[in-house]
Amino acid sequence: RIAEIEREMNRTQKNKATEYHLGLLKGKLAKLRAELIEPKSSGPKGDGFDVKRSGDARVALIGFPSVGKSTLLSTITETEAAVSNIDFTTLQATPGRWEHRGAVIQMLDLPGIIEGAAQGVGRGRQVVSTARTADLILMMLDATKSHMQRALLERELEAVGIRLNQRPPNVYFKVKTGGGISYTATCKQSQLTEKFVYTLLHQYRIFNAEVLVREDVTLDGFIDVVVGNRSYIPCLYAYNKIDAITIEEVDRIAREDHTVVVSIERGLNMDAFKDAVWRALDLLHVYTKRHAERPDFNGGLILRTGATVEDACRAIHKSLLDTFKYALVWGRSAKHNPQRVGLAHALCNEDVIEIVRK
């Protein structure tokens, strides 16, 4: 059925008159793909794909076969991954431990995926589903090959509900037990209409819901909100084997958004690559101090962007929350140094925090 809908979408001309029809087809397609990603029957998990999460962040290496994923893992971690010029050398998820700027990052080398992975070709469904658990997707690409490889990988990830370098639409959506469908838009919509909202929700057999749209949302964006199983993950595109192309080509690729160029075998631009991964993960370094002592700038906590004082307490020890009285914060998040704050205070990078107990 997925193939039939895709063929109908390809046959339909894309213009203002067919926008509504195409939107409904996309809604049907998203529903079928969601069922494909999360099958009702609980079968056994794929061997080697159930890897325990560890460290401060997880990075999933995604790419076609023989682009250098295993070579990268062996280079920056202590893991000896299987490396060969033969395709499909990696047959299961291989974890590696990498330390950078005080953070412990788990690198996950996934088997190379091929076109049709979203439908399960070449164990692709397990690969892309494992990628949904990552904090960052590192897409390994071959600089010597066509630029279409990037578009193909993006399409496979999008088919399983992974949205790269996007944020969730600013839409409040809640299914209710009665009262019908309530639709409100606080700003003008260029694509979304009340008719489309009602028809799509009825297509999903939702007859009672509240919808509040706070920004100009595309039809695809609203479908993602209704389906609800989307993962919004940052992505860094790493082009390997730059030693085999001209300097003009390297310069052109390096100027693209969310992109870094490297040659792993020759060790070219590896420091810039490591810093690019750190920036893409968007981690915070927060330092701690004891009363009447200097801050500990040698250690510190590694937290996610948007972390609060409560998250910092949990990172030190969860028992701190039971005896927490207030915290003193120095740094960019403080209005004055020090500022007395509560558990909900949001921290910034390189803040200093002192926990005061009851």
**Concatenated DSSP letters of 292-353:** TS----SS-EEEETT-BHHHHHHHH-TTHHHHEEEEEEESTT-SSSSEEE-TTPBP-TT-EE
Q: Could you give the dihedral angle defined by the CA atoms of residues 339, 340, 345 and 351, in that order, rounded to the nearest 10 degrees? A: 40
76-80, 287-291, 328-332, range with the lowest pLDDT: 76-80
**What's the pLDDT at 46?**
43
Side chain identity at residue 166, one-letter code: Q
Burial of 174 (0-12, 13-18, 19+ CB in 10 A): exposed
Q: What sign for the dihedral angle of Cα 15, 17, 21, 27?
A: positive
The answer to whether the predicted template modeling score (pTM) of the entire model surpasses 0.85 is: no
244-250 mean pLDDT: 93
Give the list of residues 6+ apart from residue 291 with CB closer than 8 angstroms, or none: 354, 356
Greatest mean pLDDT among 38-47, 95-104, 128-137, 212-221 lies in: 212-221
Q: State the chain's mean pLDDT as an integer.
A: 84
Residues 6 or more apart from 315 whose CB is under 8 A from it?
301, 302, 303
**Which helix (H) or strand (E) segment is 35 a member of?**
helix 19-37
> Residues 226, 175: contact at Cβ < 8 Å?
no
pLDDT band of 42, cuts 50, 70, 90:
very low
Q: Is the pLDDT of residue 48 over 50?
A: no
d(CA 39, CA 19): 30
Q: Give CA–CA dist 276/278, Å, rounded.
A: 5
For residue 190, pLDDT over 70 is answered with: yes
Give the C-alpha separation, 310 to 324, whole Å. 9
Report whether pLDDT(5) > 80.
Answer: no
- Is residue 43 over pLDDT 90? no
- Res. 40: pLDDT tops 60: no
Token pair recorded at residue 210: 């509240």
pLDDT of residue 41: 45
Residue 329: its pLDDT value, please?
96
Give the Cα separation of 198 and 193 in Å (integer): 9
- How does pLDDT run across 258-310, given as a tens digit for each residue? 999 999 999 999 999 999 999 999 898 999 999 889 998 888 899 988 899 99
On whether the CB atoms of residues 93 and 49 are closer than 8 A, the answer is yes
Least confident interval from 77-86, 274-283, 323-332: 77-86
Tens of pLDDT, residue by residue over 156-175, are 888 778 899 999 999 999 99
Confidence of residue 44 (pLDDT cuts 50, 70, 90): very low
